[in-house]
A and B are shown apart, each in its own frame.
Chain A
Amino acid sequence: MSRDPRPGAGDGPRAPATSPLLDVASLDARYGLLHAVRGVSLALGEGDKLALVGANGAGKTTLLRAIAGAHPASGGSVRFAGADVTALPAHRRVALGIALVPEGRRLFPDMTVLENLLVAGRRARPGPWTVDAVLDAFPLLRPLRDRRAAALSGGEQQATAIARALMTNPRLLLLDEVSLGLAPVAVDAVYASLTRLIATGTTVILVEQDLGRAMRIADRVVCLLEGSIVLDGPAASLTRERVTEAYFGLRSAAAPPVAP
């Protein structure tokens, strides 16, 4: 297995028996009194594109943050590239190749776009993503390099947030609510860049409210309901109705888990 997945590395057929890149086993996470993630198990191979859907409060953000190390797990384990990372703090997981684009973008507001990128690149794993490479992937950012992040539009901020995560040269990119609070035209622009990026073979977990978009991009859909997985299957074989039913918990819609 290549330690350093360059764009294109995931295009070929995957060896079926290799250990998964990400292996989440019976993960529990609490948010105050709320048991936000309940016994979630999930495995993801190199190059997989997973859409994580579910209603507000279903535990999607907490699950992503627990995988990234920004939220403590109260039970279960997270293994990444064969190593148990459950006890590692977030910054150590970034060094291993997990990058989270957090909900609400969370740029450093008083720093320029370029500084936001540079600060993420400082302790990056070696890899293809440099300032120039991410500016090529998000051409709209090139003229905005020296603008303060707080002075950007929502779409520009989201592009910067994704670009900043790429600067760490992730093997696994976690995207939380990329389109939240953006104008439709800005969502289209961000998704245009994102679709190209994802097509290069980056391993992605995407949280997205827009089911149509999520199912177009992903090759696998996982639906969370009250912290547990109620549906897990290949995007191609699932209908919108099936996902919607699981989303609202209308009936037990658990499909047999699909091996990644």
Chain B
Amino acid sequence: MTWVNAVVQGVLLGAVYALFACGLSLMVGVMRIINLAHGDIAVIGAYLVWVIAERAHVSPFLALIAALPVMLVVGHFLYIALISRSLRGGPLVPLLTTFGLAIVIQNALQQLFSPDVRSLGAAAGAITTASWRVTGALAISWFGILILVVAVLVLGGLELFLRRTGLGRELRATAQDPDAARLVGIDARAVYARATAIAVATAALAGAFLAIRSTFEPASGPTQLLYAFEAVVIGGFGSLWGTLLGGIVLGVAQTLGARIDPQYSILAGHLVFLAVLASPRGRSLAARSTWT
């Protein structure tokens, strides 16, 4: 039964990773832009929710609803002010500028909020501790289920958005051939700015859920970025359903690894990631990224 429990908890953990990976998947897989500050932007989201919840004395869930539109605007300006400018210098320059941005964000957060470890868990109330006890050895947390449902809705919703809406089609067209996209009237900058806004808002959502589920601090970002990258690669570029699956595979690998020995938890996740990279599909991913 403990193995079943490990798998169930792994799926719930994986939903958090998938939510973190969602915006990264949109930017790496569809727009072919690597945003190394993605994890730190998620942490900004967590702090924003924390500030709103503290100042306005509201539940973190209400604060999150107020924070999301702010983060959409932040994402829009992140693209206009930083990413689109650095893209002019070639595809590698955004890598450097977002790496720099990550360092700036971490230090700014430390300056503003001190390096203290915080959590929104207590403020979120009973939902974070309530669980449904299936058997003696298996309990499913309500909050875990909530995150899983939100992850399925957000990733599935974005997948539908990419396939079925005009803006989604414009985004895919621009990613596949930016030059041809301009020639059919698409304003690539406006389309990418909106996509970045969506990516940043989903990062903030993930950051807030992490803050409610466990703890966060100014330096939490890079670890989350790493897991998000692994989820995107395991699930395959360009597919958000794949990213959801990739996050869950990563989560299950970590909890199963921890079941064997707690120190194998993170390692097991990395091993699955490396196995996918070494597989024929991983090699085709590497080949794809050279011709696109």
Interface residues of A (CB under 8 A from B): 68-70, 89-91, 94-95, 99-100, 102, 106-111, 115-116, 118-120, 122-124, 164-165, 167-168
Contact (Cβ within 8 A) B184 A107: no
* Minimum distance in angstroms from B240 CB to a CB of chain A: 15
Q: Is B136 an interface residue (CB 8 A)?
A: no
User: Interface residue tally of chain B, by bracket?
Assistant: 10 to 19
**Could you tell me the dominant secondary structure of chain B's interface residues?**
helix
* Minimum distance in angstroms from B116 CB to a CB of chain A: 47
Contact (Cβ within 8 A) A165 B166: no
Contact (Cβ within 8 A) B183 A118: no
A111 surroundings in chain B (CB, below 8 A): 169, 172-173, 176
Contact (Cβ within 8 A) B180 A122: no
**Given A106-B179, A108-B177, does the pair A165, B172 have CB atoms closer than 8 Å?**
no
B169 surroundings in chain A (CB, below 8 A): 111, 115, 118-119, 122
* Minimum distance in angstroms from A142 CB to a CB of chain B: 20
* Minimum distance in angstroms from A175 CB to a CB of chain B: 12
Q: Is B170 an interface residue (CB 8 A)?
A: yes
Instruction: From the candidates A102, A110, A124, name the one contacting B180 in the complex (CB within 8 A).
Output: A102
Q: Is B280 an interface residue (CB 8 A)?
A: no
Q: How far apart are the CA atoms of A160 and B227 in the complex, in Å? A: 41
A and B contact pairs by CB, cutoff 8 A, 26 listed: A68-B183, A90-B182, A91-B182, A94-B183, A94-B184, A94-B185, A100-B183, A102-B180, A106-B177, A107-B180, A108-B177, A108-B180, A111-B169, A111-B172, A111-B173, A116-B173, A119-B166, A119-B169, A119-B170, A119-B181, A119-B184, A122-B166, A122-B170, A122-B186, A123-B186, A165-B184
Instruction: From the candidates A95, A106, A109, A116, name the one contacting B185 in the complex (CB within 8 A).
Output: A95
* Minimum distance in angstroms from A199 CB to a CB of chain B: 24
Q: B178-209 vs A: 1/0 string, CB under 8 Å?
A: 01111111111000000000000000000000
Name 18 extra pairs, CB < 8 A, besides A91-B182, A107-B177, A110-B176.
Answer: A69-B182, A90-B183, A91-B185, A94-B183, A95-B185, A99-B183, A102-B183, A106-B183, A108-B172, A108-B181, A109-B176, A119-B169, A119-B186, A120-B185, A122-B169, A123-B186, A165-B183, A167-B184
Q: How far apart are the CA atoms of A94 and B166 in the complex, in Å? A: 17
Contact (Cβ within 8 A) A110 B185: no
Contact (Cβ within 8 A) B179 A168: no
* Minimum distance in angstroms from B230 CB to a CB of chain A: 24
Q: How far apart are the CA atoms of A109 and B182 in the complex, in Å? A: 16
Contact (Cβ within 8 A) A89 B176: no
